[in-house]
Each structure stands twice: as C-alpha cells, then as structure tokens.
Amino acid sequence: MILLKKKYKIGNFFRNLSRLSFLNKILSKIIFFNLKYSNYFLNNYEYIKRKDYTHSYPTIISLNTTNLCNYRCTFCEIHYFYDFAKKTAGKIFPNNIDSKFIKKFDDLFNHIFSIELSGASGEPLLNLNFLDICKKFKEKNIELSVTTNGSMLNKNTAENLINMKFNHTMISLHSGEEKNYFELQGGNFNTVIKNLEYLIKLKKKKSSNLPKVSINCLVFKLNKHFIKKLIKKIKEIGIDEMNINQYYASRNKINQEVSFYFNPKEGNDFLREIYQYANNINLKLKPEKPEFIDIDKSVSKQNNDYICEAPWNSLKFKGCVEFEYSHYVAVCNRIILFRINYDEFEGNFIKDIWNHEIIRYFRKNVMKNPICQFCRNPNTLILRCLDNRAYQVERDIAVKKFLNSVIKEINVKQKKGIFLLNENPYKYVNYYEKSKD
C-alpha cells in the first residue's frame, strides 16, 4: 500500500510538470533525437497555449482498417451503414488499408505513440493486410490495440500477435451462452472461445505478457441471464479483465426498449449482482466499481472548466462505406470534418490535413462551437441514453451549424484529394425517412 501511494504521488508530480508550458517547450527541444517524445511535449505545449496551427503531430490515432464485417450484431449500426452505402453508391467499399497507406503518411506514424486499430464499420481482422500493417507499425515502436469479435483470431494470428508484442486485444463478447450469443451477434460462440483459449495458452507457453486480453461486454435485458456464465468462462480461460458497458439504443435491428436506462433499479440491482459474483471468483471488472445508472448525477459531474484536448492530440480516420480509397477525418467522435481520398491526396500531412482550415477553426473555437456546446449540454447525455432519435437529430443540427459557420467565417482552399462536407453524411434523417419507405 505504501508503494502504491508513492507511485501515485510520483505520477501526480510528473502530471503536474507536464502542465507547465515552458517545461514542455524546453523538453520538446532537448529531446529532439526522439521524435515521439519531442512531439509529445511540443503537442502538450501547443495545447496549453491553444495554438490553432500546430507544428506537432497528434499523439493518438484511431484508424479504421476495413469496412467489411463477418458478423451482423443486432445492436450494431453496421446494418444502417451497409444499407446507406448500397442506396447511395450501389455497393459497399471495403477500403482495406495497406502498406501504401502507411507509406503515404509515414511521417505521421513516425511521431505518434499509439494507434487503435478499429473496424468501426467492420471487423479489423477481415483486412488481409492486418498482420502486415501491424508489423510495420511495431517497427516504428507504436503501441497497438484492436477491438475484434475474435472469430478470426486463429492460431496463426495469435502467434503473430504474441511474437510482434502487440499490446492490447479487446474481444467483443456479449453473452456466455451459445444460443443467446448467436441471436445477438450472429457468430459461433465456441469458435471464439477456442481462439481465446489458444491465445492465452500460447502466451503462457511463451512467457509473454502481451498482448493484454480483455473482454468488452454490453449489458442489457437481452443478455442479462447469461453474463454470469460469461464471467465464469472468462475466469476459467485466464483472461485479464472484462469491461462492462451499459447499452443505449442506436440505429440497429433492435426495436424494443431493452436498455437498463429505462429501468434503473433493475439495471443497478443487476450490476451489484454481477460485480459481487466477479469479486467472489476474483475476476477484475472495469470500471473497478459499478457505475450505477443515475443520469442526473452523471450530468451534474460535468466539469465546465475543462478544455478538450482532442483537437490537439487525437486524430480519427473513420470508416467511409460509400466512397473508394476514402476515410472520413475527425478529431472527436461527435463530428466528421471532411473526407480524404488517400489515393488522390498528394499534399503534406501537417499543412494540409492536421492544420486544415476546418480543424484550425475547430481549435480556435473549442468548447464554444456548436459541436462542443452540444457535447457539454446536460440534455445530451439524457437524450443519448433515453431517446436516440432525438440525440442523433440534435447532433446533426449541431454539425450543420458548425459547417455553415465555417463557410461563412473562413476561406477554405480546395486541396486535391480532400472533400468538404456541408452536413453529417450519416445524418439521422437519411436513415429515418428511408426506413419508413
């Protein structure tokens, strides 16, 4: 306990140091021989100074690896994205990234610390280039994490992940019973379990701590009776931890009110029960303590003095199902800022993408622009949990307001391979109106 307290104090000391702008400026110059650390301190300095034009690169990237998926989870928005692509473009574009993509943005990847390899609108391991691109990233000493359904986590993939010291593999597993799993996710429960058992056994055989393996699980009324079985199975396999997340509605195939947000007492009683069960068998759940449903209390905890760091340190290459060789670019999950065709793009990452006029405008108006105001609005959390349609519509309105203000207030120069937007390409009204036809 004493060692933990000392470690906590030391950690706080360095966190406080990192908030000193002059120290970040000095360190960014001193550690010039290490691109990642130099970039980290320069990035922190530019965030503290609220620089709209940054000379630093982002430090964290979320990268959509493919738009293809072998599952059709009932609670996932993939049904909407695929339907949208077919009606908009006549087909779904997989947009599998490869070594050419890495080479095009090589300077970016030389500076960053971590990448979350997501499918977003697909299953990452369905990209046949997955292991190849991971190896190239690990050669650059980048921390890698992936969220996968685990169905393609076969022996060859497991061995490669361990050998390259892949950092974190999160498996989306939402039931502990075969039939219920199939009803929710449409896959083979036993295949996923066998894949996990092999991965854990191989880690032990090779005396490897990596990759860290965790389970991501949504809890709602449709899997309530099978979560204990899942916890028990995870413990037997020897998986590191299990993440518990409350389900809230989205554009998916579920037409019932199955979220515990509509019955907080039932949901909170259920959380107590599964946390107690996990504690009894010594399985670590995250968050460490159950986050009981109390929307009003969660809203009151919002920190109005906080200035979001995302426009300075976070970049998202998000899935784009309706255009070829394309990703959408964002700095937060609330808004897509523009589309990039990486086959056509021939510019400079720092100048043309990371300091694009729209991103600079976002930084200048952080916490004041319509998107940030939507995010900070106490009603937003309530709408997200209880009225998804209203949430989506309000977000689309905020996106429209932001993009309109960009057009009115700044001069955006057209760049080859970069396509500007005037609204959310996946706005709710598209889905809502077409679903009624």
Question: 117, 146 in Cβ contact below 8 A?
Answer: yes
Average pLDDT over residues 235-256: 93
**Could you give the CA distance from residue 92 to residue 90 in angstroms, rounded to a whole number?**
7
Same domain? For 222 and 352 the reply is: no
Same domain? For 194 and 77 the reply is: yes
Going from the C-alpha of 102 to that of each of 108, 133, 137, 177, the distances in angstroms are 9, 8, 8, 40
Q: What is the mean pLDDT of the chain?
A: 90
Q: Tell me the pLDDT tens digit for each residue of 121-132.
A: 799 999 999 999
217: Cβ–Cβ under 8 A, 6 or more apart, which residues?
172, 173, 174, 227, 230, 242, 243, 244, 245
Same domain? For 333 and 200 the reply is: no
Is 337 contained in some domain?
A: yes
Q: With a cut of 60, say whether residue 23 has pLDDT above it.
A: no
Average pLDDT over residues 393-412: 94
- What does the pLDDT read at residue 2? 39
At what angle are helices 388-409 and 428-436 packed, to 10 degrees? Answer: 130
Same domain? For 345 and 275 the reply is: no
Number of domains in the chain: 3
Same domain? For 257 and 369 the reply is: no
**161 closest CA partner among 178, 137, 189:** 137
Same domain? For 214 and 160 the reply is: yes
Domain limits at 380? 310-436
Same domain? For 288 and 352 the reply is: no
Is 114 contained in some domain?
A: yes
195: Cβ–Cβ under 8 A, 6 or more apart, which residues?
150, 151, 153, 154, 158
Is 426 contained in some domain?
A: yes
Same domain? For 164 and 274 the reply is: yes
Is 54 contained in some domain?
A: no
Comparing 4-8, 136-140, 211-215, 299-303, which segment has the lowest mean pLDDT? 4-8
The rounded percent of the chain whose pLDDT value lies above 70 is 88
Token digits for 273?
């029960």
The helix (H) or strand (E) run that includes residue 378 is helix 378-386
Question: 115, 137 in Cβ contact below 8 A?
Answer: yes
417 phi-psi bin (left φ>0, alpha ψ -120 to 50, beta other): left
pLDDT band with cut points at 50, 70 and 90 for residue 423? very high
CA 418 to chain centre: 23
Is 109 contained in some domain?
A: yes
Burial 331-348 (b: 16+ CB within 10 A, else e): bbebbbbbbbbbeebeee
Same domain? For 342 and 230 the reply is: no
427: Cβ–Cβ under 8 A, 6 or more apart, which residues?
392, 396, 399
- What does the pLDDT read at residue 1? 35
pLDDT band with cut points at 50, 70 and 90 for residue 305? confident
**Could you give the CA distance from residue 253 to residue 424 in angstroms, rounded to a whole number?**
22
Q: With a cut of 50, say whether residue 299 has pLDDT above it.
A: yes
Is 56 contained in some domain?
A: no
Is 60 contained in some domain?
A: no
Q: Tell me the pLDDT tens digit for each residue of 154-200.
A: 999 999 999 999 999 999 999 999 999 999 999 999 999 999 999 99
Same domain? For 181 and 82 the reply is: yes
**157 closest CA partner among 188, 132, 121, 191:** 132
Is 70 contained in some domain?
A: yes
Q: With a cut of 80, say whether residue 133 has pLDDT above it.
A: yes
Same domain? For 187 and 128 the reply is: yes
Same domain? For 283 and 239 the reply is: yes
Domain of 220, CATH number, reads: 3.20.20.70
Neighbours of 406 (CB within 10 A): 20
Q: Which residue has the tokens 């140091």?
A: 17
Q: Which of the listed residues 224, 259, 293 is the one where a domain comes to its end? A: 293
